[in-house]
Amino acid sequence: MNYSDLLVQGLVEGCIYALIAVGLTLVYGLLRILHIAHAGIFTLGAYIGLLLTNETGSFAAAFVITVVVVGFFGMAFYRLFYEPLLDKPPHVALIASIGLFIAMEEIYRMVFGATSLSFLAPPLKDTVTVAGVRLEEGRVVVVVLAVVLIGGLAVLAGRTRIGIAWRATVSDAAMAESFGIDLARVRYVNFFVASAMAAAAGIMVALLLNQVIPTMGGVPAYKALAIIVLGGLGNVRGTLIAALALGVIESFGTIYLDRVLDRDAIAFAFLIAVLMIRPQGLFIRR
């Protein structure tokens, strides 16, 4: 592999991380909850997306339905599990979330089986050449999705009423409420967006690997946690940069660091090194 291949592969990975981590940082920014169970929602997206594709034969239709359905699932998840814990000390929601995540993985194992599922006819497997680098179509779609969804989110946050309400709530919830902003609605929308993006990432990972297993959420989710810390918890722009940087670092790291650490530990080595120098993350929360 040459450098441009490594770079492009890294950026594709980084886009997947970004799709997961942006949702996580949105939840943290709004509720100060480390939403570990986000990983379970990611996996749910992968399962539903794969099963619907195999059922309907249309990846595109399955994708859209999955993203919407999982978005609503995220809202219900918030309502059922997190809303009653908002007033409790912060470690309560964190530990509850870990419990939920582990339980979700087990439920997937019981419902869908421990063995991996795969696409009957995996779509988007042809290769195309982009800027001199040969890429699977699925990887191009990942990049496009990341740009469209996260770009769309930026527009939503900047231009629309709900976006402005969202930003106001993030900076000062009590103040926002006194201006008549419906906090509950902002939180629901937040969970919808975060969960929908995680589902999109889940389907794309399922497609690229052509397999779905109950524990597939683990590794990317833990990395997403490292990423949102690097990005400065709650800082969306910082999270994006950290996600892309990590993708690239891992991609090069597998070549140069393989004898010391496995790929999945690089994120945390990077994280710990950074935290020792800048305890507030790479980017300060605005």
Partner 1 sequence: MYEISLLTVMSFSVIFALSLNLITGFCGQISLGHAAFYGIGAYSAALFTTGGGSFWLALPIAMAVAGFFGFIVGFASLRVRHDFLAITTMGVGFLFTGFVRQQEFLGGEEGIAGIPDPGIGQIPYMLLCAAFAAAVIAFSLYLKRSWMGHAFDAIATDEDTARTLGIDVARYKLTAFVFGTGLAGLAGALFAHYVKFVEVESFDFIESISVLAMVIVGGIGSIWGVVVAAAVLSVLPLLLQVFADYKLLIYGVLLFTVMYFAPGGVDSLMQTLWRRISGRQRRDKGQ
Q: Which residues bind partner 1 (CB under 8 A)?
A: 28, 32, 34, 81, 84-85, 88-96, 98-107, 110, 218, 222, 225-226, 229, 233, 258-262, 264-269, 271-272, 275-276, 279, 281
Q: Which is nearer to partner 1, 39 or 203 (CB)?
A: 39
98 backbone dihedrals φ, ψ, rounded to 5°: -60, -45
Q: How far is the CB of 214 from partner 1 (least distance, A)?
A: 10
Q: Which is nearer to partner 1, 91 or 159 (CB)?
A: 91
Q: Which is nearer to partner 1, 7 or 102 (CB)?
A: 102
Assigned token pair, 97 = 């979330």
Q: How far is the CB of 16 from partner 1 (least distance, A)?
A: 18
Q: Which is nearer to partner 1, 168 or 261 (CB)?
A: 261
Distance separating alpha carbons of residues 238 and 230, to the nearest angstrom: 8
Q: Residues 50, 210: contact at Cβ < 8 Å?
A: no
Exposed / middle / buried, residue 242 (Cβ in 10 Å: 0-12, 13-18, 19+): buried
Number of CB atoms found within 10 A of residue 260's CB: 10
Q: How far is the CB of 286 from partner 1 (least distance, A)?
A: 17
| Beta-bridge partners for 129 | 134
**Nearest Cα to 50, choosing from 122, 136, 104?**
122
State the pairing for strand pair 133-136/127-130. antiparallel
Q: Which is nearer to partner 1, 56 or 215 (CB)?
A: 215
Distance separating alpha carbons of residues 270 and 264, to the nearest angstrom: 11
Q: How far is the CB of 95 from partner 1 (least distance, A)?
A: 5
Q: How far is the CB of 119 from partner 1 (least distance, A)?
A: 27
Q: How far is the CB of 45 from partner 1 (least distance, A)?
A: 19
Assigned token pair, 21 = 């981590």
Q: Which is nearer to partner 1, 88 or 134 (CB)?
A: 88
Specify the amino acid at residue 105: E
Distance separating alpha carbons of residues 199 and 211, to the nearest angstrom: 15
